[in-house]
Amino acid sequence: QVQVVESGGGSVQVGGFLRLSCVVTGATWNNWRMAWFRQAPGKEREGVAVIYDGLREKRYVDSVKGRFTIYPDKDKNTIVLQMNNLQPEDSAIYYCAAGSARIMLTFLFDPKKYDYWGQGTQVTVSS
């Protein structure tokens, strides 16, 4: 049984940083698509960052490029999202998701393509 558990959310001021962690158990996930999504109140779930192809390739949504970094901590079976220079528009519930390697590159940020989800962790950025 695959389980996805996020941690590391919290409240910070503008310009601050947070590190989110996603632990995946119950599967060999090195070849999966591992992604972070976020959802703010009243908005659709948005893909933020994804790591894939043996955890070597990465993609980011334009709004976080240069500020967020996704990387694996293989020793801890963890996918990390390092978020720097946080802005109020980054406030949302952040979800980690795991998906099959069959997800086409065009759909890497499509939440419907992912099979396993964590419970979410709240990130709040105040000015």
pLDDT at 76: 73
Distance between CA atoms of residues 61 and 50, nearest Å: 9
pLDDT at 1: 84
What residue ranges of the chain have pLDDT lower than 50?
none
pLDDT at 75: 74
pLDDT digits (tens, 9 = 90+) for 19-31: 999 998 887 777 8
pLDDT at 31: 80
